[in-house]
Amino acid sequence: MTTEQPSIATIATSNALAARELEWAQNSPELLLEHAAINCGIVRTRFPPEPNGYLHIGHAKSMNMNFRLAFEKLGVPEENRRTIFRYDDTNPDAESAEYIDSLRRDLEWLGWEPERTTYSSDNFQTLYELAVKLIHKGLAYVCDMTKAEMEAQRDLAKRRSSALAVGEDPDVEAPIPSADILPGRNRDTPVERNLKLFEEMKLGLHDEGSLTLRLKMDFESANPNMYDLVAYRIKYTPHPHAGKGWCIYPNYDFTHGICDSLERIDYSICTLEFETRREPYYWILWALDMFRPKVYEMSRLNLEYTVLSKRRLLKLVDAHHVRGWSDPRMPTISGLRRRGYTKEIINTFCNDVGATRAMNVVQMDKLFQVARQTLADTTRRAMVALDPIKVVICNFAELAANSRDGGMTFDVQNSPTDASLGSHTVTLTEIIYINSEDFQLDSNPNFYRLTPEKPAGIKYHGGNLVCSEVIKDGMKVKELKCHLDVSEGRPKPKAHITWVPSDGILCEVRIYNHLFLEPEPSDRWEEELNPESETVHSNAIVDPSVLSLVDKKDVDKWKSNQAFQFERLGYFVVDVDTSFDSTTKEGKLVFNRTVSLKEDKAVKKVSNIEAEQKRKRDEQQRSAAAARDILMTIEPGDLFKVAPEYKGKYSAFDDTGLPTHLADGTELTKSARKKLEKDRAKHVKKFAKTNQ
């Protein structure tokens, strides 16, 4: 029986462990043998989302890695692959039953089949017992430091460790006066006291925030995650899964590794921001002498023009910037589903993106391209008029009488490239509707569609539509009187426009654009939302043939997210939202655009706004550069007298030109003068470099 854990090569490249970490990460031969005997050749990963929001496409990347890619990289035969779906539910404040349900629904919808579903909270009792074990070992203690004290302690430890790293005196001043801030007054308290207090915490005898259980780790570490992590805190919030039995909850770091070990996980894969948590992960399992899975980090999926963080997405929902987690503009699995993205599209995209440690932002167009490729072969076509103009074909009766079959019905293949998808019929009627964009009053030579002067062909019927009268309602074109030219010598039209017959179905069509104006939303992301991320065409008319696939009375049928290609407009899906007014459920058909046929005007519009923003940024950069140039002409002795940044702030200077008094006459403190001296020293360097 082999007891070695092979590595996931492409991720492993930067997975070098520090010497100490290496020791903690090492499984003893006994542990390896025991693990191998239990797993019997099975290789196990896990996908552990916290139920504090809905899953997004970044999670889909993680699922693709944990359910498929990792095994492929490791060469694990299909029959030996196992993945646990774990709710990492240790923070009842942020978690809810709604999120628990949504996570499961989305995972199943994406087609992943976990070996089993577990909850971290199912291990609360075991975790508690292991914490007691650590107290017994002298590796955990109950701490009564306040949050502010702990922050100060952390800050101090950080400054000491950076001083040590550069060979400076580690005896830095404490940020707040306190007798025993580092290593803290509770660190070396007796085991009995800690057992007693921890028991009292569990029994609810102490207030929230008054006590924590901390791990006795290492304040001299370069990794702040080793500064005596809090393993347990008091919280009087009932748990959405575990119920009311607990008022102390383990934190993420304490729980995560232990659950991995208990569940016999071989490879614990997370995203790069957890890299510094690897050390405490291994420390905890080392301290408890438990099996240590191999930890790997891969880069997070970042996607242009959106945010992939549950915390930010929740803000969008709470601030009503979108209509909930499943709004089609959201990058959540449920939002994408409602927008018409199938599991094939999402999983293919994730597979294409792969899993490496390279940090990058993936272009949204990559996802769009996968969608187009997938939908092109599977959707059936239909014609729609987004903003319809009524067209009366004045010679219709005459044409109909002359046509051999007495009608104007055409058989249209559902997919022009795949006859096996069948066909549907479209029928020309005396009154038809065309899209307002296909008609223009002015005869612009670059406009190839219908104008009062220029005829246009109409799709599926060979004739030319010739406009003879325009009826307006104010400025708006309301109706066109036309005739169909079917004469032998009619001109060859430059364009064929789409149309919908008089029995077309009234519907609403929602066209989506990027949620954000910036490809990489900044810290001020809420100000960068695209105000035109959704355009609603509420009086659109669609060809009645769609009803053969969409039964208006049977909403359940639409749950399959029936998709269409609306000719010249893109791929659309029937909206299955039942929570928003004027939805499909209420009898009005609603279609969401999944993706345009190719990069469309709306996207270009965003590009224009971006171009404007870029222009502004460039201008700011130029003026900042100009200010820097001016600064470089200022002699160091005059810096505080003439540089725009300081000018007018001071009233007196010493011989070297260093300010001694503020403009209002107040004397500058020693530290303020020191800071200015530093500023001047920097300026001296730059000045010398520029003017040498």
Q: Which residues contact 73 (CB under 8 A, 6 or more apart)?
A: 8, 9, 10, 11
Comparing CA positions, the residue from 593, 602, 588 lying closest to residue 563 is 593
If the CB atoms of residues 93 and 581 are measured against Mg ion, the closer one turns out to be 93
Beta carbon of residue 334, minimum distance to ligand ATP (angstroms, whole number): 14
- 88 near Mg ion, rule: CB under 5 A: no
Contact call for residue 455 and ligand ATP (CB under 6 A): no
- Touching ligand ATP, residues 68-127 (CB under 6 A): 88
Q: What is the DSSP code (8-state) at residue 561?
A: -
If the CB atoms of residues 59 and 514 are measured against ligand ATP, the closer one turns out to be 59
- Note whether 62 binds ligand ATP by CB under 6 A: yes
259 binds ligand ATP (CB under 6 A): no
- Residue nearest ligand ATP by beta-carbon distance: 58
Beta bridge partners of 205: none
Confirm or reject binding of residue 59 to ligand ATP (CB under 6 A). yes
Q: List binders of Mg ion among 36-75 (CB under 5 A).
A: 50
Candidates 55-63, 484-492, 514-522, 542-550 — which segment interacts with ligand ATP by CB under 6 A?
A: 55-63
Segment contacting ligand ATP by CB under 6 A, of 37-45, 57-65, 206-214, 469-477: 57-65
Q: Tokens 């074909």, residue?
A: 393
CB atoms within 10 A of CB 371: 25
Q: Residue 335 binds which entry of Mg ion, ligand ATP, none, with Cβ cut-offs from 5 to 8 Å by kind?
A: none
Count CB atoms within 10 A of the CB of residue 262. Answer: 17
Q: Which does residue 136 bind out of Mg ion, ligand ATP, none, counting CB within 5 to 8 angstroms by kind? A: none
Residue 301, interface with ligand ATP (CB under 6 A)?
Answer: yes
Per the annotation, the verdict on 116 as an active-site residue is: no
Rounded-to-5 percentages of helix, strand, coil across the chain = 40, 20, 40
Q: What are phi and psi of 127, to 5 degrees?
A: -60, -40
| Closer residue to ligand ATP in complex, CB, 53/340 | 53
Contact status: 11 vs ligand ATP (CB under 6 A): no
Catalytic residue among 154, 294, 300, 323: 300
Which of 27, 35, 50, 82 lies at the binding interface for ligand ATP (CB under 6 A)? 50
605 catalytic per annotation: no
Kindly state the smallest distance separating residue 326's Cβ from Mg ion, in Å.
20
294 binds ligand ATP (CB under 6 A): no
Residues whose CB is less than 8 angstroms from the CB of residue 498 and which lie 6 or more positions away in sequence, other chains included: 383, 384, 385, 434, 435, 438, 458, 459, 567, 568
Nearest 5°: CA angle at 563, between 559 and 568?
Answer: 155
Q: 571-576 — which CB contacts under 8 Å span 24+ positions?
A: 571/340, 571/371, 571/372, 571/375, 571/379, 571/595, 571/597, 572/340, 572/509, 573/338, 573/339, 573/340, 574/550, 575/328, 575/338, 575/510, 576/338
C-beta atoms surrounding 276 within 10 Å: 14
Catalytic residue among 310, 380, 510, 593: 310
Among Mg ion, ligand ATP, none, what does residue 300 contact (CB within 5–8 Å per kind)? Answer: ligand ATP
Burial of 34 by CB count in 10 Å (0-12 exposed, 13-18 middle, 19+ buried)?
middle
How many Cβ atoms sit within 10 Å of the Cβ of residue 532?
15
Which residue of the set 21, 44, 46, 50 is catalytic?
50
Minimum distance from residue 112 beta carbon to ligand ATP (Å) = 13
61 belongs to the binding site for ligand ATP (CB under 6 A) = yes
Using the rule CB under 6 A, is 49 a contact of ligand ATP? Answer: yes
Q: Is 149 a catalytic residue?
A: no
Counting Cβ atoms within 10 Å, is residue 447 exposed (0-12), middle (13-18) or buried (19+)?
middle
Which of 43-51, 490-498, 551-559, 655-663 is the region at the interface with ligand ATP (rule: CB under 6 A)?
43-51
Token pair for 366: 């990559």
Which of 15/440 has CB closer to ligand ATP? 15
Cross-strand bridge partners of residue 119? 87
Choose the one of Mg ion, ligand ATP, none that binds residue 309, judging by a C-beta under 5 to 8 angstroms depending on kind: ligand ATP
The residues annotated with a catalytic role in the active site are 50, 300, 310
- Chain residues in the site for ligand ATP (CB under 6 A): 48-50, 58-59, 61-62, 88, 270-271, 300-301, 308-311
